[in-house]
Structure 1
Amino acid sequence: MPRVRSLDSARATCEHYHPGLGKALEETDLVEREAPGGPVIELFREHGGPALLVPPGFGGRGAGLVDAVRVLRAVGSYSPSLAAAATMHHFTAAMLFSLDDRDGGLTAAQRALLRGIVPGRKLMASGWAEGRTRQNVLTPAVSARPVDGGYLLNGSKKPCSLSRSMDLLTASVAVPDAGGRPELAIALVPADTPGITVHPFWSNGALAAAESDEVRLTNVFVPGDLVIRTTAGDPDRLSELQSTGFVWFELLISAGYAGAAAALVQRVLDGGRGAVTDRAALAVRAESAHLLLEGVARAVGDGDLAGEEAVAAALMARYAAQDTLCGAADLALELLGGMDFIRSPEGALLAASVRPLAFHPPSRTSTAEPLVDYLGGNPLALA
């Protein structure tokens, strides 16, 4: 039976970092896996999911960007919901631990909290600006008012994946700098802190197991030593944080959707559906998106792309993959045929789970002018 060989390779990489996860996920029917309250997040936790991008010095696996893209593609092929949720944890880990590599990095209190991620199998939810129209993912989504010993946080994040399983909420906030001007900071907030509540929000059947509900913060106190200043006296620190955040987020989130599309391709190959030329065309569409994402990941990992050049490449790879994967999903459903659509919800569920890539920030519309300007030789200026 024909196989999607690159998907087999991605699943082998996933097995290397998370032994038994793929098998455990497959033991539950896909529809049950993807339903609200499904088991996928706890299975991810039990099989070492939180450790993937945590550096070895903090007890983690320290995977590089290429392996991370492969793992997320594999996870997406098993459970698109889990890939979306896991991306939020991994993207957060990539940014937070990158701060510790610089002078004036994490404080002792911040390190102590983050050292508990791997042994405690803790999951980090991302309280950034995703879900807010025309907002940079790093734009503060929560207000922070200085009080004695720290800050009071108010605001909400919707949708917020991992909302019901998170152990730690990381929120972008604006705090005053030495001159009283607002400065981007990251608040590390344990999920059991008083004032944090979770409310129903996600109503779509696609990606329903990602726990993408609303998290509200009402006068949530966070100590000052758990607020990470993104400049900390280093003007290059924020720029590097933004670059890291964009690159990791765009490539990992796209890889998860590429996995969902690959699972659809495998269903077509398993059934021998359509003419061989149709199956080849389908495979080319799905594989080209995967190869593009992995190519950018490799260039970034090897140091061939950095800074705004890496951000631009990641964004363009994401938008190209977005178009290609949706086309592949449409063709796969057509080849599977009407009786498969009628008798089995799995194909339609996977196809619907490819579409939300278009809704993650930044939107194609919001980056059109910055990318055109960048291609013309100007700096990449994302709003």
Structure 2
Amino acid sequence: MDFEIPAAQQERCARIYEETHALWGERRAVPGAEEVREDFRAAGKAGLTGLCLPAEAGGSGLGALETAQCLEAFGRGSADTGLAFAVAAHLLACAVPVRDFASEESRAALLPALASGEMIAANAMTEDEAGSDISALSVTARPVDGGYVLNGSKSWASNGPVADLVVTYAITDAKAGFLGVSAFAVPADTPGLIREPALAKTGLEGCHAGRIRFEECAVPASCLLGEEGQGAAVFQHSMAWERAALFGIYLGLMRRQLDQIVQHASRRRQFGRRIGEFQGVSHRIAAMRQRLESARLLLYRACWLLDAGQDHTAAVALSKIAVSEAAVANSLDAVHLSGAVGYLRGGAEEQLRDALPSTLFSGTTEIQRELIAKDLGL
């Protein structure tokens, strides 16, 4: 067991932190659609949209662990956690399944643009009555000569309103249950694919998310990811990468938050003393660090198992719970320790709003505990 991060990776993460801090370290306004596109291009130049994509496609060819460490640096450097989430979702929930399941022709056509940030991808899985339960999907893909016709609606697609490519899942055989789901990578300008405006939501405002509808949307067979009926496997594969590596952005948020709180506690004075000298304050900050360090170890282990090709399901679930719950708890502490300032828009309260959805997306905390219980044989 070696906890030392190689020098080259340390340098890469330091560069990412510096670049993202220079670009988005002071951002407060919610970016518009055109600004999001400029942000993705900038993220592409920093190498963030292609971290784990092949070098021949313009990516860095990193594994899950190194990808998570880079996203941690991104989350620490950028005040716009929503943008970091948008980039990570684009990369892990969309580009990864294209990388691993698309045809050779589709990979050649899509991966360079995905890696550079010129093309923005959206993950359209969730429906009004189906989230983690992939067997309950209502969107259908009717086989026709040369392809499929998609019909139905997805309720929550990260990057949906600004997407150029939509990775989605649909029923191709209603009688086959789990094995009747197929995955598709559909160009957003395909007739019959309708992107609805961005949803108003609490937190992660830098990530535009919205409904996507398919109305007799005809797609060629080349849009299929993997084989027909392999959609559940594609989804689980992409979720393993997302649940493991994406949450690096929250490690970065917690590190940035901890730095800010330590600085505040060292500077703010009450009753003639720095507030960090009061045990009630210092112990609370110590607990924030303990949650961060513990969550980081679980996340790194989950990514290491994923890279090693070992059984990672329970480890990823444990990591996802630890990071998301630590992010919420630390953000609540940060609001409290900041006093009235923590209640103002744009500070600790914004970090809390960005942390809250982490217990919901990529499978709720309850779903993760179900996976852990199943691993225990319960």
Q: How does the TM-score come out when normalised to structure 2?
A: 0.80
Q: Partners of 2:116 and 2:200 in 1: how far apart?
A: 34
**Relative to 1, partners in 2 of residues 1:356 and 1:285: Cα closer, same or farther, differing over 3 Å?**
same
The aligned residue for residue 272 of structure 1 is: 265
**Relative to 1, partners in 2 of residues 1:35 and 1:132: Cα closer, same or farther, differing over 3 Å?**
farther
Shift of 1:116: 4.2
In the TM superposition, what whole-angstrom CA distance separates every residue of 1:278-311 from its partner, at most 9, and x where no partner exists? 332222222322232122212332x1x62xx301
In the TM superposition, what whole-angstrom CA distance separates every residue of 1:215-268 from its partner, at most 9, and x where no partner exists? 222121111122123468xxxx77864553232111233222332232221210
* Aligned residue among 194, 209, 232 for 1:197: 194
Q: Partners of 1:56 and 1:291 in 2: how far apart?
A: 28
The aligned residue for residue 46 of structure 1 is: 42
Shift of 1:159: 1.8
Q: Partners of 2:336 and 2:177 in 1: how far apart?
A: 59
Q: Partners of 1:181 and 1:368 in 2: how far apart?
A: 21
The aligned residue for residue 74 of structure 2 is: 75
The aligned residue for residue 330 of structure 1 is: 332
RMSD across aligned positions (CA): 3.4
Gap regions ≥5 residues in structure 2: 267-274, 277-281
Q: Is 2:292 the counterpart of 1:293? A: no
In the TM superposition, what whole-angstrom CA distance separates every residue of 1:149-201 from its partner, at most 9, and x where no partner exists? 21111222222111233221111123249x99963322121111122222235
Gap regions ≥5 residues in structure 1: 1-5, 101-105, 379-383
For the residue of structure 1 that corresponds to 2:161, the secondary structure is coil
The aligned residue for residue 103 of structure 1 is: none
Shift of 1:204: 2.1
For the residue of structure 2 that corresponds to 1:128, the secondary structure is strand
The aligned residue for residue 140 of structure 2 is: 143
**Relative to 1, partners in 2 of residues 1:343 and 1:189: Cα closer, same or farther, differing over 3 Å?**
closer
Amino acid at match of 1:206: G
**Relative to 1, partners in 2 of residues 1:173 and 1:365: Cα closer, same or farther, differing over 3 Å?**
same
Shift of 1:211: 0.5
The aligned residue for residue 359 of structure 2 is: 358
Residues 13 and 70 in structure 2, CA contact (< 8 A), matched pair in contact too: yes
Q: Partners of 1:211 and 1:366 in 2: how far apart?
A: 25
For the residue of structure 2 that corresponds to 1:63, the secondary structure is coil
State how 1:86-235 maps to structure 2 within 5 Å: 86-91=87-92, 92-99=94-101, 106-109=103-106, 111-118=108-115, 121-129=118-126, 133-136=130-133, 140=137, 142-176=139-173, 183-230=180-227
The aligned residue for residue 270 of structure 2 is: none
Residues 195 and 213 in structure 2, CA contact (< 8 A), matched pair in contact too: yes
Identical-pair percentage: 22
Amino acid at match of 1:47: A
Shift of 1:43: 1.8
